[in-house]
Amino acid sequence: MSQPAKHSGHPDLAPRMDGIEPFHVMALLGEARELERQGRDIIHLEVGEPDFDTPQPIIEAGIAALQQGDIHYTSSLGLASLREAIAGYYQERFEVAIPASRVVVTPGASGALLLIIGILIGRNDAVMLADPGYPCNQNFVRFVDGQIQSVAVDERTGYQLTADLIEQHWRENTKAVLIASPANPTGTMVSADEMARISERVKARGGYLIVDEIYQGLVYDTEAATALQCAEDNQHLIIINSFSKYFQMTGWRLGWCIVPEHLLEACDHLAQNLFLAAPTTAQRAALAAFEPQTIEILEQRRRIFQQRRDFLYPHLLELGFKIPVKPQGAFYFYCDCSALTDNSMQFAHDLLYQSGVAITPGLDFGTNQPERYVRLAYTRDIPALQQAVERMAGFLADRRTG
């Protein structure tokens, strides 16, 4: 199968580009699109974004902003009314009091991650991350010439870093620990107790704890939570969040972070230089995101995601995938496919070509046994998932007999 080119290898490129790989799933997606052009029907389970449109109240608020000509730059930290609305959301939903001044609005969680890594991480500073994990995190660290301290995690810790693992792997130059809960690609969460232990440990070591809560709200067996509820003081805690997933605004490119007071000025200065401000129309539109009628739509969709998860889970087990930790959130299954193949990349490729089901190979999430895992996203409706299950069953039966 065709491998994605790393980059052109042109001598003019900066050395950091050597480590920056494209998403392998993009190559697969390109192949899927080509098959679709040839008339094949492809079921896309590789897509890491909600299949729902942005809720109508948000769209209407965006249209109104455009019609009012509201298209000028906002402050680099974000629209004051949106920062207040975000702070109000934390108070109302999570019962944590955050001054609006600590909320920084960014172009997606991506913008927030780049900003935070940018203000904190110097050449010799290391960021501790779980492997498997969201692949871009390593590249944000690479981008600032920081050190990546990747820790292999497995089902024993729910594919998450723990306070003990952090302690065990802490190095002199560890400056920050980055955790996602719920996580991509595993959908697993860090419990409130463990988050409190992690927070204490990182604080005692003098580091920063960065918690990516982009899938907050998309949780199924438990209440949505924030690490802010677990940390006594928040001087070492940075929260990353986004309007992309729960609020279903991926293409609007809007997120936020919550930072301690002493980092605000640096955020302001770097945000001014990196992106000036997050998109104004998106910020105006997002003012409608916390309205009760919008939350009602989002909660209804959350229940649909839960139905999909609960539909797919037993089927995947029946097909022979192992899912040692049932995901509590996000919209992913990170499946151990070692009983079916010893090469998840080839498996994903064959499944696409032979049966028209697109999934993501483990290689996109790190170097910790990637050949053993694939990620399936339930960002399709139940009839499509049902069809995907049938196609996978046929594919696996053919492999057994063929």
212 binds ligand PLP, rule: CB under 6 A: yes
The answer to the question of residue 109 lying near ligand PLP (CB under 6 A) is: yes
Nearer residue to ligand PLP within complex by CB, 109 or 271: 109
How far lies 383's CA from each of 115, 203, 378, 387, in Å?
41, 48, 11, 6
Site string for ligand PLP, 47-86 (x = CB under 6 A): -x--------------------------------------
188 binds ligand PLP (CB under 6 A): no
| Smallest gap from residue 89 Cβ to ligand PLP (A) | 16
Cβ of residue 213: shortest distance to ligand PLP, in angstroms?
Answer: 9
256 lines the binding site for ligand PLP (CB under 6 A): no
Q: Does residue 184 interact with ligand PLP by CB under 6 A?
A: yes
Q: Which of 226, 244, 360, 379 binds ligand PLP (CB under 6 A)?
A: 244
Nearest distance, CB of residue 110 and ligand PLP, angstroms? 3
Could you say which residues in the range 130-159 bind ligand PLP, by CB under 6 A? Answer: 134
Indicate the residue among 129 and 214 with the shorter CB distance to ligand PLP: 214
Determine if 118 is a binding residue for ligand PLP (CB under 6 A).
Answer: no
Under the criterion CB under 6 A, does residue 217 sit at the interface with ligand PLP?
A: no
Is 214 a binding residue for ligand PLP by CB under 6 A? The answer is: yes
Residue span binding ligand PLP (CB under 6 A) among the ranges 103-111, 115-123, 319-327, 343-351: 103-111
Which of 75, 101, 250, 306: binder of ligand PLP (CB under 6 A)? 250
Structural contact between residues 278 and 78, judged by C-beta atoms closer than 8 angstroms: yes
Nearest CA-CA partner of 65 in 297, 256, 254, 250:
254
By CB under 6 A, residue 242 contacts ligand PLP: yes
User: Rounded to the nearest whole angstrom, what is the least distance from the CB of residue 108 to ligand PLP in the complex?
Assistant: 3
Nearer to ligand PLP, 25 or 263 (CB): 25
Nearer to ligand PLP, 77 or 178 (CB): 178
129 in Cβ contact with 367 (< 8 Å): no
Tell me the site size for ligand PLP, rule CB under 6 A.
13
Binding region for ligand PLP (CB under 6 A) out of 121-129, 242-250, 295-303, 318-326 = 242-250
List contacts with ligand PLP (CB under 6 A).
48, 108-110, 134, 180, 184, 212, 214, 242, 244, 250, 255
